[in-house]
Amino acid sequence: MTASPDVAAPLRSIGIVGGGQLAWMLAEAAAELGVAVHVQTPSGTDPAVSRATSVVEAGLEDVEATRRLAERCGVVSFENEWIPLADLAALAAEGVCFLPSLQALAPLVDKRAQRRLLDALQLPSLRWCPLEEALPAAGGMGQDPPAPGWDAPLPPLGRPSPEAAARPAAASAAASSSSASASASSSSSSSSGSSGSGTGNSTSDANSGSATSSSHAIRGSVASTSSSHSTSDSTSGSSSTSGSTSGSTSGSDNSTSSSSNSTSDARSGVSGDNITSSGSGSNVNSNSSASSSAGSGGGSPESGSRASASSNNNSSSSSGPGRGRSPSAAAPRLPQGFSFPLIAKAASGGYDGRGIRLLADQAALEALLAEVRPSQWLLEELVRFEQELAVVACRDRQGNVLLYPLVQTQQQQQVCDWVLFPAPVDHSVEAFARNVAASLLTALDYVGVLAIEFFYGPRGLQINEIAPRTHNSGHYTIEACHTSQFAQQVRIVTGLPLGSSEARLPAALMINLLAGAEPLEAAEQAERLQRLRLVPQASLHWYGQRGHHPDRKLGHIPIALPGGTAEERQRQAEQGLEQVRQLWPLPEPQPGGAGL
């Protein structure tokens, strides 16, 4: 049941809290490494059950079930961030080994804590404030204690073990250097980003929440990918957490100089100049307008990233739901420096657009305050962006850091539509993203795999959200990299050496398969899946989800882009996306998709 984080020999069994598609793919990778996987999941029909060595059928917050899980293995990890940290602390005190550690997870499983962490590390992020800062200074607001685990204090940062401190520092510097040299081979096809993504102009109506974006299709993205893309980076020890990232990649828009003005088509998989603030759900915000006064690039990535009125010491706030406010109470108001429209986000539990609300005006703010606990929500500015990017990073028990290539992601209806590897951006942008990831992993003493989502636009690169787990943006690694993100997680948790994160394909496109409003008949679904298997250079991953939920991820299909030139890979990506979407269209927009 117990295990030291520093094991002398690799473990042969692990426990996973969660049994969805991420655990399903992790179990597949574990089997290839000869590692047994035991899962804790609510239903015996969940995807990972079919590949698990044993199953503890219980809810994810059932701590006694996690205790039983730990008795079957040497270490316990997590499929998602919905973790009852306070309750699990008792198991950790008894000697149960969790990886990542509960201390490293504490500032990541809550979005408010994430924002405070990024502020503390001086990493570029969005301006934000706790929702309770919008409450009137005096009024009849009912007081409601914060839920357990909300606004947990941050763990001590930047305190590596004595062994780590003795090793040479500069994980982030090495990440930047490795990225620059590894990307050099693609410079001929992406010089100045002239064939990269376009920078259209977005015109918006703040009252209606609608926007008309001039966007570039995927054809503008693939052209700048290189024929070889080696981006792995392995470093050990600690790295600077603030100085290592300041001043890098000064908002360069070199990778977005193409002036394509094609109209955005929700079915074609396009990306371009958007206005957004939410994670994993930018379509909510691409239908919104912003009052951003940012320039057209040239400022540092950090410029204007935090609100002057934002307080980072609001963990003690316990304001209750707005329904306790009397009619005569003072009206809520936005903190200084914020204006409508903006985004409200639940601090925990939100994903794929859930837990996100667009606040277009004062009435929307008051409606939100009447329904939720302000201490469990935050406000974020709307920002103009041109691309959404993501990077998967990992760190082992010895402090070695590996990073996967930076990718571009495209969201539709708050859910990821496709992921393009490698991202069509200037090399300095990727170097900066890798710098940020290495700094974050080291500062938290994080052991495991995580993903960081970014916005890239006039302010440079800004962190949107951090996912402390394997991630949808990294599914392409199964086919495109020597070691997938799932195999890497298994290696880290069991104590095996890190595998190479270098690419073995020049480029790839990963497309998500989402559930529609109504379930398909079995025969029709089987026919569609069979035809998807015939798409050239494609590999179908079907999760075997039971039950029907609109917009649910049912599977994904990566398409290798092996063309010898950028033009060939561009054509392959366009054809592949078109073929897949003809066989499996994106779901029709659902009303209220940006709601709670």
pLDDT at 292: 31
How far apart, in whole angstroms, are the C-alpha atoms of residue 424 and residue 189? Answer: 10
Question: For residue 592, what pLDDT band results from cuts at 50, 70 and 90?
Answer: low
Is 81 in contact with 105 (CB distance < 8 Å)?
yes
Greater confidence, 155 or 520?
Answer: 520
Model pLDDT for residues 214-230, shown as the tens digit of each residue: 333 564 455 443 333 44
Q: Return the closest-CA partner of residue 492 out of 401, 557, 372.
A: 401
pLDDT at 570: 81
Taken in order of first residue, the domains within the chain and their CATH numbers are 13-98 (3.40.50.20), 508-586 (3.30.470.20)
Q: What is the residue type of 3? A: A
pLDDT at 310: 35
Give 405-425 as a 3 state SS string: CCEEEEEECCEEEEEEECCCC
Q: Give yes or no for residue 234 having a pLDDT over 80.
A: no
Q: How far is CA 520 from the centre of its chain?
A: 29
pLDDT at 567: 83
Return the exposure string of 372-409: e unless at least 16 CB atoms fall within 10 Å of the residue's CB, then b. bbbbbbbbbbbbbbbbbbbbbbbbbebbbbbbbbbbbb
Is 530 in contact with 586 (CB distance < 8 Å)?
no
Model pLDDT for residues 128-157, shown as the tens digit of each residue: 999 999 998 733 343 343 433 334 343 333
pLDDT at 441: 98
Query: What's the mean pLDDT in 177-204?
Result: 34
Question: For residue 202, what pLDDT band results from cuts at 50, 70 and 90?
Answer: very low
**Tokens (6 digits) for 453:** 């989502």
Q: Give yes or no for residue 305 having a pLDDT over 90.
A: no
* DSSP tag of 28: H
pLDDT at 113: 96
Residue located via tokens 């609001």: 314
Q: Give yes or no for residue 242 having a pLDDT over 60.
A: no
pLDDT at 8: 56
Greater confidence, 195 or 534?
Answer: 534
Question: For residue 207, what pLDDT band results from cuts at 50, 70 and 90?
Answer: very low
* DSSP tag of 350: -
Q: What is the residue type of 274? A: N
Sequence-separated (6 or more) residues with CB below 8 Å from residue 595: 357
Q: Return the closest-CA partner of residue 535 out of 513, 505, 557.
A: 557
| Weakest mean pLDDT among 206-210, 251-255, 368-372, 561-565 | 206-210
How far apart, in whole angstroms, are the C-alpha atoms of residue 493 and residue 35? Answer: 11
Q: What is the residue type of 45? A: T
Model pLDDT for residues 455-507, shown as the tens digit of each residue: 999 999 999 999 999 999 999 999 999 999 999 999 999 999 999 999 999 99
Return the exposure string of 132-161: e unless at least 16 CB atoms fall within 10 Å of the residue's CB, then b. bbbbeeeeebeeeebeebbbbebbeebebe
* DSSP tag of 53: S
| Weakest mean pLDDT among 52-61, 264-273, 365-374 | 264-273
Greater confidence, 534 or 326?
Answer: 534
| Weakest mean pLDDT among 30-39, 295-304, 317-326 | 295-304
Q: Give yes or no for residue 396 having a pLDDT over 70.
A: yes
Q: What are the phi and psi torsion angles at 87 (to 5°)?
A: -70, -35
pLDDT at 352: 63
Question: Beta 13-17 vs 460-467: how paired, if at all?
Answer: unpaired
Is 370 in contact with 359 (CB distance < 8 Å)?
no
pLDDT at 569: 85
Question: For residue 512, what pLDDT band results from cuts at 50, 70 and 90?
Answer: very high
Q: What is the residue type of 35? A: V
Is 370 in contact with 344 (CB distance < 8 Å)?
no
| Weakest mean pLDDT among 91-95, 246-250, 333-337 | 246-250
C-alpha pair distances (Å), 174 with each of 8, 177, 274, 397? 28, 5, 33, 19
Query: What's the mean pLDDT in 23-45?
Result: 98
Q: Return the closest-CA partner of residue 133 out of 276, 336, 274.
A: 336
The percent of residues in the chain predicted with pLDDT above 70, rounded, is 65
**Tokens (6 digits) for 93:** 């005190």
Length of the chain: 596
Greater confidence, 214 or 243?
Answer: 243
**Tokens (6 digits) for 84:** 């009852």
C-alpha pair distances (Å), 445 with each of 78, 235, 393, 401, 488? 17, 14, 13, 11, 17
How far apart, in whole angstroms, are the C-alpha atoms of residue 440 and residue 123? Answer: 9
pLDDT at 99: 98
Determine whether 552 is exposed, middle or buried from the number of CB atoms within 10 Å of its CB (0-12, 13-18, 19+). Answer: middle
Sequence-separated (6 or more) residues with CB below 8 Å from residue 254: 192, 193, 426
* DSSP tag of 263: B
How far apart, in whole angstroms, are the C-alpha atoms of residue 427 and residue 111? Answer: 29
Is 347 in contact with 110 (CB distance < 8 Å)?
yes
pLDDT at 565: 86
Q: What is the pTM of this model?
A: 0.74
Peptide bond into 130 cis (omega under 30): no
Question: For residue 328, what pLDDT band results from cuts at 50, 70 and 90?
Answer: very low
Q: What mean pLDDT value characterizes the chain?
A: 75
**Cα first-last separation, the chain:** 39
Q: Give yes or no for residue 205 having a pLDDT over 90.
A: no
- In sequence order, what E strands does 27-67 have? 36-41, 54-57
How far apart, in whole angstroms, are the C-alpha atoms of residue 485 and residue 493? Answer: 12
Torsion on CA atoms 61, 514, 115, 145, rounded to nearest 10: -40
pLDDT at 591: 60
Q: Give yes or no for residue 564 having a pLDDT over 90.
A: no
The percent of residues in the chain predicted with pLDDT above 90, rounded, is 59
pLDDT at 590: 65
